[in-house]
Amino acid sequence: MTPPVRRSSLIALLLLPALAACGHVPLSASELHTVARPAFVARIELDAGPRSTVFRDLSSQASRLQGLAPAEGDRRLAAKLAQGATPFEVAERLRIGVVRRLPETTPWTYAVPASEVSGVLQSLLVEEQPQRRPDVRQLERLGADTLIELVVERYGMQGEGGAPGIYVSGRARMTRLNSGATYYARSFSYRMPSSAELPLDPLVIAREPRRFGEALSRLLDQAAAQIAQDLQPGGHSGRDAQRAGTPPSLDDEADSLPRDAGSRPTELPGDALPAP
């Protein structure tokens, strides 16, 4: 009988096709027990966003553009969304959301401080821009033996199911630094559709990009909660909700914003979008 073999770099490579198909490799308690000093790295893919297809997806929204082409409307909206949340803020929201939800037990109490990770990877020098994957093996200089990598792959606004919505997708992965063995992996995708309780009017959001940042934060918090739960296979209870951070609330003011009842211009200057 072939003796049982623990997951290694070779087995991790063999698992890649299955990982691509299912998007989830669970973490076992025995593997977590071997981790001594984890390091967290959060980043944004180079072409992650913010993106917008809402005017191209929904004819009901495109008809509000006063003759502006839907593709141009989406380009202008994407530029406005970028004012609501920088790539650095998006990545950090996810990282902090995961870390704050982990229990104050080993190995999490021995995690490499974020400032040291940033210093070694020089991520603070490009904090406002998406980054290529850094050389994470440098983290071994800090005594790290395991990497928890959090990556946002796509985020923005789209039209799906007949309504505008905000979305985010990405992946999380835990690997052994010296061997590259995969201990854990998960793909995630969350969407928040517009509703009467939570209106997500793209023209209102273009005027107040903070609304996009607040709604996106809610989705990132959902992803963080799932990842933090995955990282506790022994059933440890995480820190209380207050310490984990409560996502900011959205003001339900979309319908109370002033409308322009008078004549509207036939051309929109610069990067402007019509008034809601």
DSSP the chain: -PPP----HHHHHHHHHHHHHH-EEPPPHHHHHT-SSEEEEEEE-TT---EE-HHHH-HHHHTTSTT--HHHHHHHHHHHHTTT--HHHHHHHHHHHHHHTS-SSTTGGGPPPHHHHHHHHTGGGGTTS--PPP-GGGGGGGT--EEEEEEEEEEEEEEETTEEEEEEEEEEEEEETTT--EEEEEEEEEEEE--SSS---HHHHHH-THHHHHHHHHHHHHHHHHHHHHT-TT------HHHH-PPPPPP--GGGSPP--S---SS--TT-----
pLDDT value at residue 138: 87
- Tell me the per-residue pLDDT of 18-34, one tens digit each, with 9 for 90 and over: 333 347 899 999 999 99
Predicted pLDDT at 236: 55
Confidence bin at 123 (pLDDT 50/70/90): low
Banded model confidence at residue 149, pLDDT cuts 50, 70, 90 = very high
pLDDT tens string 174-190: 999 999 899 999 999 99
Residue 126: the pLDDT is 52
Q: What is the pLDDT of residues 40-61, one digit of tens each?
A: 999 999 889 899 999 999 999 9
Predicted confidence band of residue 144 (pLDDT cuts 50, 70, 90):
very high
Confidence at 128, pLDDT banded by 50, 70, 90 = low
Residue 275: both structure tokens together: 């008034």
60-80 pLDDT per residue, tens: 999 999 989 999 999 999 999
Of 133-137, 211-215, 246-250, the one with minimum mean pLDDT is 246-250
Residue 160 identity (one-letter amino acid): E
80 closest CA partner among 61, 54, 117, 45 = 54
Alpha carbon distance 127, 125 (integer Å): 6
Cα dihedral 74, 75, 79, 82 in deg (nearest 10): 60
